[in-house]
A and B are shown apart, each in its own frame.
Chain A
């Protein structure tokens, strides 16, 4: 009925209209009980493997309003305009996305959250087997750092400071199935925070069989994590463990384990090291083993550098993610970064999850 050009124009018009309506709606409220912020970003990305240029312009808005002391809502939306340049071809795409939208309701002992949200369970850095609900966002520059929000309901019961019991019900991000989990947290136990959780639902990672579509097998999981300090130097230590019991399929049960340490020196150098062991459900598949090292330090007072070295020990492949963030003025940052792969292997999960690229991005926060 419409060609792609007309379709793009319609999407563009609809997104602008949506954004205008949202802004009008927000500004019509009494702002005293509301907070409003956002980020205007522009990025240029060169993807080396496909030799493709991409420029991305985005507007992200956050809005929170208190309707009463114990009732508030939060909205986070983004409007993204992307252009792709590949050989002589050019493609444009406009996208409006409600990233998060939820209602909070607080009672004496229970905090409720209803709507599209992230569940940041787990103690480790970026890789979180304990995040049962939010899939990694493979379109983002750093898929390890960005997860997609899902629709669901969360109830957190706080009998005391030390204890927290959380129940979650969500829809799976890909299949029309309900996911359920319960987590019990014990805080400040001899300097450690401990958490135990159980989950029933579907795997977040799809499995593909030759000639079949990707499917998300049913499974039950048991998870445990802790975080605390050891030694008089206060070296941080953390761990996550998940046992997955696959239901009704010829898939073997799996174990996943992360153990890591972090430390900040007096000169503000922050170091983190983390080992990840991941058994895979298809029979006779060798377990993944990864080592992640991260270093971060401010320089010239307002700026920051960061480097991540991720090694796939099974496939002997590794990648480096350097990043520089320059603070140009108050609230205006210029970021330059890259993903560089070494000893690239198609079989490695590192290769599938990361594209080799160089990028520059400018962000204005307001």
Chain B
């Protein structure tokens, strides 16, 4: 009996002495881990977006996205397919220190660059089930600035979080996120509307790691209220490419 008690105490002492287990994981730490899964300062991606209506009809869009972190976050999105929106481009400049965000749109039919109002971000992203804030999740989101997280369940593989929204630009009332502990990437996210009804389910899959940066190559977004679905596939990706800052200018947009 004494042997068993000694063995139990020894095992307990051994487990407590393990640094990984002694440090209790909290929601803030999980969000930090999620942010650290993407270290790159810049990226360029080729993406395909498939939009499915409730009746199953499908339309697709192909686009190139370039992003540059810094004092001013810069993002350029160029549409390459289909033909009716080919050449359309968005430039987003987010100066967080001065709380200033500027958006520019280039429309080939107009042949000119126009500044567009910030409220354009209220609606869906190019007619999909994604909002502009959803897009940021897949392109290296500022999780810590957008959410406050609390762990609601945890096992060896998955941490389940309750997300309190702290960014006023995000219109959900709250969210739930399931995070893979081996990759520190979200596997599934649920968002709830202002009436606390489930509105959106996001499933992430085809996980990959490129030069120390982890990402999901396939993101499936289902609007359960409208019964529509958007699938975003990352076809090509390059982290920390040598991007010329001049491409994030209205001058470059005008050259499309």
Please list the residues of chain A having a beta carbon within 8 angstroms of any beta carbon in chain B. Answer: 35, 37-39, 62, 100, 104, 106, 111, 117-118, 120, 123, 156, 158, 161, 164, 187-188, 190-191, 193, 227-229, 232-236, 262-268, 270, 298, 300-302, 327, 330-331, 333, 363, 365-366
Query: Which of B60, B82, B117, B251 is in CB contact (< 8 Å) with A262?
Result: B117
Tell me the smallest distance from the CB of B170 to a CB of chain A, in Å.
Answer: 11
User: B251 to A164, Cβ gap below 8 A?
Assistant: yes
Q: Does B241 contact A (CB under 8 A)?
A: no
Is chain A's binding surface mostly helix, strand, loop or mixed? strand
Q: Across the interface, which residues of B come within 8 angstroms of A365, CB to CB?
A: 82-84
B59 close to A (CB within 8 Å): yes
Q: A301-B51, A330-B82 are in contact. Are A191 and B117 (CB under 8 A)?
A: no
- A263, B119: Cβ atoms under 8 Å? yes
Query: A233 — nearest CB in chain B belongs to which residue?
Result: B119
Top 9 nearest A-B pairs (CB, nearest first) are A236-B117, A234-B118, A120-B112, A365-B83, A301-B53, A268-B123, A365-B84, A234-B119, A264-B119
- 8 A Cβ contacts from B101-131 to A: 102, 108, 110-112, 114-124, 127
Within the assembled complex, what's the spacing in Å between the Cα atoms of A111 and B115? Answer: 20
Contact B123 A266 (CB under 8 A): yes
Q: Please, which residue of chain B has its CB at the minimum distance from the CB of A228?
A: B115
Shortest distance between the CB of B105 and any CB in chain A (Å): 12
Tell me how far the C-beta of B101 lies from the nearest C-beta in chain A, rounded to whole angstroms: 8
Residues of B within 8 A of A158 (CB): 249, 251
Q: List the A residue with the shortest CB-CB distance to B248.
A: A161
Residues of A close to B121: CB separation below 8 A: 234
Chain B interface size, as a band, is 35 or more
Interface residues of B in 205-256 (CB under 8 A from A): 226, 228, 249-251, 254-255
What are the residues of chain B within 8 A of A111 when measuring CB–CB? 251, 254-255
A120-B110, A268-B123 known; A188 vs B100 contact (CB < 8 Å): yes
Determine the residue in chain B with the shortest Cβ distance to A364. B83
* CB-defined contacts of A267 to chain B, threshold 8 Å: 123
Q: How far is the CA of A156 from the CA of B100 in the complex (A)?
A: 26
Distance between B118 CB and nearest chain A CB, rounded to angstroms: 3
Residues of A within 8 A of B71 (CB): none
How many angstroms from the CA of A228 to the CA of B103 in the assembled complex? 10
Q: Which of B57, B59, B117 contacts A229 (CB 8 A)?
A: B117
Q: How far is the CA of A158 from the CA of B252 in the complex (A)?
A: 11
